[in-house]
Structure 1
Amino acid sequence: MQRVIRFSLNNKLALWILSLMVVIFGLNAGMTMPLELLPKIDAPILTVSAVYPGASPEEVQDAVTIPLEKRIQGLEGVTRYRSSAYENVTTIIVEYDYDIDIDRAKQALDDAVKSVSLPKDVQDVRSSKIDFTQLPVIALSVSGDMGRPELTRWADEVLLPALRGVKGVASIEVSGETTRRVELTFDEKALQDHHLTVDQVKQIVQGMNMSLPVGIYDVAGQEQVIRLSGSLHSVEELKDLPIPYQPGPGGSVAGTGASAGAGTGIGASTGSGVGGGAGAGAGTGAGIGPAPAFPVPVDGAGAPGMTGTGGSGVPPVGGSSSGAVPQGGAIPAGSGVPQAFTLPTVPLGELATVKVVDFTDQLSRTNGREALGLQILKDQNANTVDVVEGVQKELDRLSKDYPEMHIDTTFDQAMPIRQSVDTMLSKALIGALVAAVIVLLFLREVRSTLIAVISIPASLLIAIFVIRQLGITLNIMTLGALTVAIGRVVDDTIVVVENIYRRLFLSGESLRGKALIEAATHEMFTPISASTIVTVAVFLPIATVSGPVGQIFKPFAWTVVIALLASLLVAITIAPMLAHTFFRKKAERAGETMTRSRPVSGASGQALSSIYGRMLEWALKHKAVTFFSALFLLVASFALVPVVGVSFLPSDQEKMIILTYSPDPTLPPDKAKQAALDAEKWLMAQPGVRLVQFSQGAGNPLRPGGGGKDTLFYVRYADDFPDFAHEQVRVLDTLKDTINQGRWTLMQQGAGMSGSQFELRVIAPSVQAAEPVVHKVEDILTKRSDLANVKSDLDQPYPEISLIPNRQALADHGLVAAHILGVLTQGNKDNVITTLNAPEGSLDVIIPKKPLSYQNKDELLDQTIRTPLGTETPLKDLVTVEEGTSPQVIKREQGEISLAVTADVLVKDVGKVSRDVQKEVEALDLPSGVKIVFGGVTADIEDTFTQLLWAMAAAVLIVYLILVLTFHGGIAPFAILFSIPYVLIGALVALWLAGETISVSSMIGFLMLIGIVVTNAVVLIDRTIRKEAEGLSTHAALVEAAKTRVRPILMTALATIGALIPLAFGMEGSALISKGLAITVIGGLTSSTLLTLFIVPIVYEFLMRFRVRKSS
């Protein structure tokens, strides 16, 4: 390293140019570096989803979920799998080892899923990767003084095209928009008068609206394309569509039968009809249903039924013909001459009201106005801030062009990022100024202070340039790391500059000029390099921390490591170069008597050294008293651990409440809508509320799996609203009391890892086995005052009436179970029968749903079903009834039923709550095969803290190894390690005074302290060993080293503390990591520095005496 120092002194111009390049490249990297909220998390998680239309959660579980699970569990690398079976859909989450090749794993999963035999009606079986970054980067609410249809058209024609053109926008999800469609509302009397049914008309419309190529044929010696072009192009054309019908009830076409409805998956079935006349016939059809009123051939023996093609759009015909024929075109039965006859027709417009409507089944409102909700997602490689800024520019332009439109931002991921950048930059600047003031107070010389301060931007700019090349983004973790590093990067330069400055005024100094500066710098290289490498080494174990926490904190560790290594480089290159530039005259006259020019710091430094020297002399003479007094303080500090408490990560304090409302399953849609409107009215009346936006019936990425009546509320408050945590609880409690037909949930938001939701899961072979245990756990949690919003997966089950078909009774009446299904599902959902190719675009032709409604169970069972024989049979004669409940979702874990019980923790000490609940739960007498697993924040704390504790243990061993290699022995390093335990005293006291808990951020602070506090001890012991080598006794060497090094030790410690003080205040989004870490380092460094100055010399002298005695 001496060559590097000499090069810096001999090539100052080159170094100035290199420094200028560092500034340019560093600033450019900082300005072009992508800004994100958090580092990207590449979780080894895949999901499998499948849709099973019309199936209950139990049916989905048995027919889809379990077969898929059996195939998935044997795949390579799978560590855990969980599933959720909802009505119509299932989702399976598959977790892998973190070292798995996720692309190969996905291919293997795809192959496995394809090999599973599932019911033929199962659709959309697919797998996908979990991407935590694919949340909306910005959510908007669009409203205006117009109806929802006009609002939708303006969004489709103006807003959406403009936003889709923004660079980086991947997709836009819209809620609350209307869809133009054609609705057919049938006149039941008109249908009866024409002996038609809805199904018959539907099939005729489908068969008439058809356009497809027939093929290539030889026509007049030339090959020509034949095409059937029967498409409908307008509503008027649809109204005028002729519908054939059978005028008399005795004809063959008006067969009887029940329809199973579209999409039920019923295959071929038989149909029969009864009619008067000379002959009768039977036929088969492609679906269960009455015959359409199409012309059919008739012969004397009765016309056989026609075979339909169902799915091709040609109506299936099933039924029997009779000898009766209509007037005008009938051939008498028995003539044996089959001839066609024509049927009368009626326009569709006389059978049904045909109209174009703007339809929506979603509700979206903002501040009491009809609104559209927009959620904008970015490309995977796009930058969040750039995308949001591009969107905001378009919105500003549109606001000028369309002042009547109101566009409000309900969610903005870029805002906390920008706030974090601004906050961190301001705190970094303040921290650097505080550090500079502290250095100035010690050195009392502006130029020396300037050299130390220059090391801060130089080190940080080098770090920014390097992490930019490594592909690390600028986020709250890397920003926090850069801010935390400010207090440490100045240390190496301070030590070097202080030693240079000391030797400039050292009486009898023999060296001059560059030689003096080179020697003074090289003298400190061993301690500063050892201390820097030690500090860097403590972050190596973070690489072993797995899971999302490890991925989030690795960029933090990389940033600190690179900044510290950069500071070491600056200390041995730029610092000596600047020292020679600023102190050239002094360096040439070093060692001479310069009483007049000697700064005040010389006298104050000597006074400090003298006072500390006398204190150390006393401590060395009273080793037992000093050592055990410090040990008593250390042991006593452990009493603060339960007082301080434990949590995972702090929640941010953005003034927004995100609520979800899940109405009771039995609550009709109109009442669920009114409940949401009542909640909106109450929320808007609350003081401090600036915006209330809600959407009902629309899926949202913040709460997947929600039902069609679920409602999501965004409530934004004024930025200066006081006591916001209490307001959140008040709002939630009031809504629960006033709108109590459903479940209200307060959602945690922020960086994605904060929060304090308590969760445990009851694992059992069946729901029946788990249910009593779940209720017992709910009772335990409900009784606690520190928990709220207790709920479980057993909450709000659907009341269920099971109709079990009586197969013999069905057979006796010529029916099958599908006939019951057809009657009960008739009109249960919108029926898209065809599509108009209108000039303004494609319009779906819909028969709107008209779900059957019953006053009670008896009314349901009293309805009749028409048999193929033409008779009416009550439903109660065909089924037996069982009543019960059906869960909204069935969750499984590792192939067993998993029922979660969750609650919100109302206190900071989440760890104490978890421990207390664990004790109560462990006292429960669990049935055989039932177990309880803790999840949520309890599992987060246990897993992450365990890994961090192991990382600390590994860091201590690494530190010891480096020190052994540095000092070529084990005694000095062992003494140095005694500086580490005493960080607990100050850190715990500081956390207690600040009202903070032991969290992940404070644990990272403890990890940093291992490296920081060792630095002070290294500087002290290195000087002691040098003086011992010069012939001083251990005692004399310790006293001399302590007097010499006390000023740089206190200076570096106070500079680090001063730089961190701005981070210890405030709860901005950037404080997710920085606040707890800063408080921990400030407190721990204070106590350790003060005690290190006494404990380490005591231990070192004791060990050296022990070694001498052992040798003699």
Structure 2
Amino acid sequence: MKSIINFSIKNKLAIWIVTIFIIVFGMFSAFQMKMEQLPNINEPIVDITTIYPGASSEEVSDKITNQIENGVRNLDGVKNVVSTSMQDASSIQVEYGFDKDLKEAEQEIEETIKNLNLPEDAQTPKVARLSFNDLPILVVSVLNQNSNLSEVSNLVKNEIQPAFEEIQGISTVNIVGNETKEVRINLLPERLQEYQLRDQDVAEYLNSVLNEFSLGVKEVDNQEKVVAIQSELDIEKLKDISVPINPQSVIEGVDQTAEATPTLNDIAEIELEQSSSSISRFNGEESIGIQVVQGVNGNTVEIIDAITNKMDELEKQYDGLTFETVLNSGDPIKDSISMMFKKALIGAAFAVLIILLFLRDIKSTLISVISIPLSLLIALLLLHRIGISLNLMTIGAMTVAIGRVVDDSIVVIENIHRKIKLSKEPLSGNALIVAATMEMFSPIMSSTIVTIAVFLPLGLVDGPVGELFYPFGLTIVFALLASLLVSITIVPMMAHFMMSRKVEKRASRDKKHKGETYRKILRWSLNHKIVSFTCINILLIGSLFLIPFIGVTFIQEDENNLLIITYDPKTGDTREEINEQVETVEDYLLGREHIELVQSSQGGGNPLNPADTRQVLFFIKYKGSVEDFGKEQEVISAEIRKQTEGEWSFQDSGSGNSQMNIYVYGNNFEEINQSIGQIEDKLSNREEVKSIKTNVSELHDKLGFQLKLDELIDNGVHPEQVYSALGGGVDMRLTTINEEGDDLPVYLNTAKAIEKQEDYLKLPISTFSGEEIELSEVTELIEQEAPSAIYNRNGKQYGEVTINVQSNDINKTIKGLENELKGISFGNGVNLEFGGVSDQIEDSFNQLIIASGLAIFVVFFVLIVTFGGGLAPFAILFSLPYAIIGSLVGLLLTREPISISVMIGALMLIGIVVTNAIVLVARIIQNEKEGIDLREAILEAGTTRLRPILMTAFATVGALVPLVFTGETDGSGLISRGLGITVIGGLTTSTILTLIVVPVVYEALMKMKKKFKKKRAQKEEVNIEA
């Protein structure tokens, strides 16, 4: 190590070049790094979506959901399987542990599904990983005052969507509310009667002649080729299709006369129509909604900047065209990171000021603080190389690391500064700087390794907490290693370059005066060990009684000016009725004072729930921050629930989580719904309950047609004829035709109009002999009630209650609600299971407590290796418990609950606190090796190391001060003031008490060791004499 220090001093030019290299490439890396708000966390969930057109929720459950559930439940690593069976669709979420390779999981699920016997008319199940990337990063509404919705739709389809999709990093561009063209064939009842045609026969004929039929692979010209029957049509050709009077006879190969054969145009109206499967509105005005979803490797900020530029170009190009931005994930990212950078700069300024106040020398201060930018730039260079993004966690880690990266340089430069000012110092020049640096190398290396070792157990924390804090820990590790390198290379070089040996007598007198005051306090404590130790431990024990008065939460919520609401209409509501309800709610929202804009999307507008085409998604943007966002949600929730009968779900876009989940298992649908009603009645009036959402599925009337098997056989009627007859009145998609370069779907509307359920039984159906009978002769109509959706969890039918809780002590509040529910008398077959944030708190806190225990063990091991024994490390560890005092007092005074942020701060304290103790004990041991008496060695070490210990502690505190003033709207809930308060409070008390406790414990242990050696020596002498 001495050779490295010597090399740095003797090769200043080389070191300056390396320093410039670090600055240039570090800054280049910073500008090249992907920028995002949080690290990308892929939830270990694989989603399986299956579309089964025309099937009821019960049919979907029996034929689709149950089969897939049974197939995937026993796959390796599966924790939970949650499913929803609804009309026309099945949605299944397969949850794994965070250690599962999701690509492998997808492949296993796809292979399992291939072996299942699913209905032929069901679409192929779509298997995809669930990710935060599925959420849109940008939502805009497109309007044009000079054009109608159809013209805007064409512009979006032909110009805007392709322009957006060309931008690198985008996964999908979803369009909501756009109008599309389609061909409608409306059969005319009077014309059908004139030609003695039945609508179902025409439907069967058109379906057979318009669709492509594959005849398989045939060998043609010595090559295998796919042979298929197909037709290419446009609207005019479609009109000219001949429809035989008895279409069934054509299908069966019976001849028809051309004169008796009408064309499709003779019996139907064929029209090109505009239609829309979804509706989007902006501030009550019809618009086109665009949702941009980012790809896995996309850069959010770059994508949004590119789209913003493209929108500006398009607005200039098309008169009257405007883009109204509803959601922009790029601005919060830039604002949050900018805010964190400002805090880092302010923290660095505080640290520099504190160092200057202690050293009272500008040159020494400049040399010390050079480690801040260099260490952080080296960290950025390494982070960029391994693909870590620039986000709140990495920037937050740098903010936290500022106070610590300067520690090593402070200790080195303070020792050099001290030796230069000693009038009796025999060394000078290179030798003095090398000796001063070497003297401090062992303690700074030990303290750096110890601090790094603290973050190693974070790798054992799984789940979202482990994923989130992985880049946080990695950033600090890189920065600390860089600071150690800087302190033994660049700092000695700059010290030799800038500092001269001058003795400032006044400074020496001040130092001596301050040292003497502490020396007297320390001497008294050493002489009164029991009294001093008892008093300090009374403070420690007393602080533990503060814990019940400090709340517990998972992550402090960041309030935002964007509110996202979903609305699930009542079963049976038509599209027109839903639209009226949405307009009513929009009018109410737009009438509220602080709301700037409202965008609604009905019919497939929710990217995380595309299968539910009835759900409505609202984006509500406020003009600025709302004083009490929780209260605002309560007011809105109460009012819109009065105006509608469906289910509302609220979520804001902050990072906090305060949800309680209750899973209700029962024997049947009625039991579950009744129990959920009891829960709602019990908790709905509680002050802490912000909102309650259930997945209660309403019962709707079901008409069941039971086949009379004997009558079917007697009349020669095939079951498929019954299905075809009942399909009347439903849009039937026949084929796709090309019109002016566009592929347009063709739909057939049959002539039957069903107004009463009795009309179904009167529908005609042909027998084998050609005679027509009514449907009532071969089927029986049974009136039933059926759920609109069926929910299963791990193979059991269940219902779910989701409660948003508002409290400063989330954990205590949720536990209270759980105990209250346990007192309710439910049915015999009903069981409750609790989940949500309470489970997350328990799981994450337990893992972090284990990680902290492992960290202490690792620290102890490193100290044993460093000091070559166990007594000195044991004395150093006595500095840890007293950090609890300041941390708990700080949290209580600031009313900050214990959160993940606080726990990470406590983990950090383990590494930070022992640093000061290491510097102190290392000096004591060095004095002892030089032959100084134990008591004098302790007193000299205390007075000599007082200034560097206070400097490093106060510099760390100063760097963290900006975090204490974290606002609720700057997006930094994960790296929040909870972490700052914990470290500042803990470091303050531990530093003060370390200067007393560690010397007291060290002297006591050394005296005990000396007595033990003396007794053993005497015992050995007695044995020898015997």
TM-score (norm: length of structure 2): 0.91
Deviation of 1:521 (Å): 1.1
Deviation of 1:769 (Å): 6.1
Contact 1:210 1:231 in 2 (8 A): no
In the aligned structure 2, how far is the partner of 1:466 from the partner of 1:399?
A: 42
1:866-924 deviation per Cα after TM superposition (whole angstroms, max 9, x unaligned): 5648566585994253533414232222x333432211011132111222133334556
Partner of 2:462: 546
Partner of 1:1028: 928
Contact 1:667 1:741 in 2 (8 A): no
2:450 alignment partner, one of 529, 534, 541:
534
1:231-264 deviation per Cα after TM superposition (whole angstroms, max 9, x unaligned): 44344x544555554xxxxxxx4xxxxxxxxxxx
Partner of 2:577: 671
Deviation of 1:182 (Å): 1.9
Partner of 1:1018: 918
Q: Residue type matched to 2:599 in 1?
A: Q
Partner of 2:1024: none
Partner of 1:744: 648
Deviation of 1:549 (Å): 1.9
Higher alpha-carbon deviation: 630-639 or 405-414: 630-639
In the aligned structure 2, how far is the partner of 1:216 from the partner of 1:996?
A: 71
1:836 and 2:737 correspond: yes
> What does 1:470-509 align with in structure 2 at a 5 Å threshold?
470-509=386-425
Partner of 1:1039: 939
Pair 851,381 (structure 1): closer, same or farther in 2 beyond 3 Å: farther
1:845 alignment partner, one of 705, 725, 746:
746
In the aligned structure 2, how far is the partner of 1:214 from the partner of 1:576?
A: 84
Contact 1:820 1:865 in 2 (8 A): no
Partner of 1:652: 558
In the aligned structure 2, how far is the partner of 1:198 from the partner of 1:362?
A: 29
In the aligned structure 1, how far is the partner of 2:156 from the partner of 2:409?
A: 59
Contact 1:781 1:903 in 2 (8 A): no
Contact 2:189 2:751 in 1 (8 A): no
Partner of 1:624: 530
Unaligned runs of 5+ in 1: 218-224, 246-252, 254-290, 293-304, 309-315, 318-338
In the aligned structure 2, how far is the partner of 1:216 from the partner of 1:786?
A: 67
Contact 1:87 1:889 in 2 (8 A): no
Partner of 2:222: none
Contact 2:553 2:898 in 1 (8 A): yes
1:400-458 deviation per Cα after TM superposition (whole angstroms, max 9, x unaligned): 21241111222222222211221122111111111111111111111111111111001
1:168 and 2:187 correspond: no
2:780 alignment partner, one of 874, 879, 891:
879
Partner of 2:963: 1063
> What does 1:371-382 align with in structure 2 at a 5 Å threshold?
371-382=287-298
- For residue 879 of structure 1, give the secondary structure of its aligned residue in structure 2: strand
1:920 and 2:820 correspond: yes
In the aligned structure 1, how far is the partner of 2:615 from the partner of 2:202?
A: 36
In the aligned structure 2, how far is the partner of 1:706 from the partner of 1:342?
A: 47
In the aligned structure 2, how far is the partner of 1:546 from the partner of 1:915?
A: 24
Deviation of 1:505 (Å): 1.3
- For residue 85 of structure 1, give the secondary structure of its aligned residue in structure 2: strand
- For residue 133 of structure 2, give the secondary structure of its aligned residue in structure 1: coil
- For residue 106 of structure 1, give the secondary structure of its aligned residue in structure 2: helix
Pair 1101,863 (structure 1): closer, same or farther in 2 beyond 3 Å: farther
Deviation of 1:163 (Å): 1.4
- For residue 619 of structure 2, give the secondary structure of its aligned residue in structure 1: strand
Pair 875,539 (structure 1): closer, same or farther in 2 beyond 3 Å: same
Partner of 1:794: 696
Contact 2:171 2:295 in 1 (8 A): yes
Contact 1:762 1:770 in 2 (8 A): yes
- For residue 545 of structure 2, give the secondary structure of its aligned residue in structure 1: helix
- For residue 975 of structure 2, give the secondary structure of its aligned residue in structure 1: helix
Pair 1064,344 (structure 1): closer, same or farther in 2 beyond 3 Å: same
1:734-781 deviation per Cα after TM superposition (whole angstroms, max 9, x unaligned): 2222x2311111124245xx3211112234565566555544444443
In the aligned structure 1, how far is the partner of 2:240 from the partner of 2:267?
A: 11
In the aligned structure 2, how far is the partner of 1:623 from the partner of 1:695?
A: 72
Deviation of 1:1109 (Å): 3.1
1:42-67 deviation per Cα after TM superposition (whole angstroms, max 9, x unaligned): 55443333333333333222222233
Deviation of 1:397 (Å): 1.0
- For residue 889 of structure 1, give the secondary structure of its aligned residue in structure 2: strand
Sequence identity, in percent?
Answer: 38
In the aligned structure 2, how far is the partner of 1:432 from the partner of 1:900?
A: 49
2:597 alignment partner, one of 691, 698, 714:
691
1:1105 and 2:1007 correspond: yes
Q: Residue type matched to 2:175 in 1?
A: V
Pair 791,805 (structure 1): closer, same or farther in 2 beyond 3 Å: farther
Deviation of 1:544 (Å): 0.5
1:421 and 2:422 correspond: no
In the aligned structure 2, how far is the partner of 1:99 from the partner of 1:888?
A: 32
2:361 alignment partner, one of 430, 433, 445:
445
In the aligned structure 1, how far is the partner of 2:746 from the partner of 2:519?
A: 95
Partner of 1:717: 622
Deviation of 1:718 (Å): 1.6
In the aligned structure 2, how far is the partner of 1:376 from the partner of 1:340?
A: 55
In the aligned structure 1, how far is the partner of 2:515 from the partner of 2:227?
A: 106
Higher alpha-carbon deviation: 986-995 or 925-934: 925-934
Partner of 1:386: 302
1:638 alignment partner, one of 544, 547, 570:
544
- For residue 511 of structure 1, give the secondary structure of its aligned residue in structure 2: coil
Deviation of 1:398 (Å): 1.0
- For residue 132 of structure 2, give the secondary structure of its aligned residue in structure 1: coil
Partner of 1:63: 63
Pair 363,340 (structure 1): closer, same or farther in 2 beyond 3 Å: closer
Higher alpha-carbon deviation: 1035-1044 or 573-582: 1035-1044
Partner of 1:53: 53
Partner of 1:361: 277
In the aligned structure 2, how far is the partner of 1:810 from the partner of 1:469?
A: 73
Q: Residue type matched to 1:193 in 2?
A: E
1:696-738 deviation per Cα after TM superposition (whole angstroms, max 9, x unaligned): 012422x41663221111111123443333223322222222x
Pairwise CA RMSD of aligned residues?
Answer: 3.1
Contact 1:167 1:390 in 2 (8 A): no
Pair 15,88 (structure 1): closer, same or farther in 2 beyond 3 Å: same
In the aligned structure 2, how far is the partner of 1:578 from the partner of 1:1028?
A: 32
Give the structure with the higher percent helix. 2
In the aligned structure 1, how far is the partner of 2:911 from the partner of 2:217?
A: 83
1:583-619 deviation per Cα after TM superposition (whole angstroms, max 9, x unaligned): 1x31xx6xxxx3xx45x65444333322222222333
Pair 416,849 (structure 1): closer, same or farther in 2 beyond 3 Å: farther
1:188 and 2:201 correspond: no
In the aligned structure 2, how far is the partner of 1:613 from the partner of 1:782?
A: 63
1:897 and 2:797 correspond: yes
Pair 851,932 (structure 1): closer, same or farther in 2 beyond 3 Å: farther
Q: Residue type matched to 1:199 in 2?
A: Q
- For residue 124 of structure 1, give the secondary structure of its aligned residue in structure 2: coil
- Compare CA radii of gyration and give the structure with the larger one: 1
1:757 and 2:659 correspond: yes
Pair 382,757 (structure 1): closer, same or farther in 2 beyond 3 Å: same
In the aligned structure 2, how far is the partner of 1:1060 from the partner of 1:412?
A: 30
Partner of 2:374: 458
| Aligned residues between the structures | 1002
